[in-house]
Amino acid sequence: MALFTKELLRLNRKMQIVLLVVFLATVISVFFLWRYMELKSLGQNAAYKAPMHIYTQAEKLMVRGKFGRALKRYEEAERMLRQIPDIDLSEDFYYAIVSNAIGTVHLRIGIYGDGNNENKIKSRADLAKDRASIILSQSYFDTSISTYRKWLKSHRPGPEKIAALQKSREGVAEDKIELEPFERYERALSVSLTNRGMALRYLDDIAGATACYEEALSLWADNKTASANLKSMREVISEEESESKQKTLDRQSRN
């Protein structure tokens, strides 16, 4: 974590917002979503306990900045999940979480490289040199997203029930509201979409990144990471366009 923070301090405020998304979105948001689901359903299938224990170890390694070791742990957890009999991984919450986590590490490697590049990252031009890792991360985010979507397609209540739920919460303090399972899946999906948006941004797919951030916010309006990154991306693009126009005008004036 110290290494990650030092890297951020070398960049400007807007870049700090952009670079925080992967780490914060996964380690904080998804971790607490998983902890809730653990209490609700791990007791129903003890086979989940071992792989998710490995997942927790990987999260601790992420916090310590041991990204390579964390990736190996995440991959081990994924293999263990695949070995659980009679589980449909295509809509399994834990599988979606682990897939998102693996994608996060690959995205981090794609942005910073696979070594200690603390002293090399001084500007945006030093980032995202490993496009292959970013593309690989995208495949894991896609798996996570499709898994959440499949579950929600089958389990999300109809509009009338959702409206009734919202009405029943009128006047209730936000910290007193216990989210329904479908709402937690929506938030987890929002996190994965945010990470996919980051990957697309660094692959120069601005339209795709914008669509991911906007969908993430439609699912979870208080997803501050998606909101900050969308705003920052638009500001950076605007600045780049202004700089490009100014360079063109300068060339024309010299001629």
Average pLDDT along the chain? 81
In this structure, is the dihedral angle defined by the CA atoms of residues 107, 37, 218 and 5, taken in order, positive or negative?
negative
The whole-number average pLDDT for the span 17-38 is 50
Extract the tokens encoding 209: 């990144």
Report residue 243 as tokens: 């700089």
Would you kindly state where each structural domain of the chain is located, as residue ranges? 2-156+177-254
**pLDDT tens, residue by residue, 2-20:** 333 333 333 444 444 445 4
> Among 42-51, 204-213, 234-243, whose mean pLDDT is lowest?
42-51
Percent of the chain with pLDDT over 70: 73
Domain 2-156+177-254 bears CATH identifier 1.10.1520.10: no
In this structure, which amino acid lies at residue 38?
Answer: E
Helix (H) or strand (E) holding 239: helix 224-254
Query: Can you give the pLDDT at residue 200?
Result: 95
From 117, 123, 81, select the one nearest 99 (Cα to Cα): 81
C-alpha 98/C-alpha 132 separation (Å) is 20
Number of H helices, E strands in the chain: 11, 0
Cα within 13 Å of Cα(24), Cβ side: 15
Per residue in 120-135, pLDDT (tens digit) is: 655 555 566 789 999 9
pLDDT of residue 240: 74
Average pLDDT over residues 91-107: 94
- CA 255 to mean position of chain CA atoms: 48
End-to-end CA distance of the chain: 51
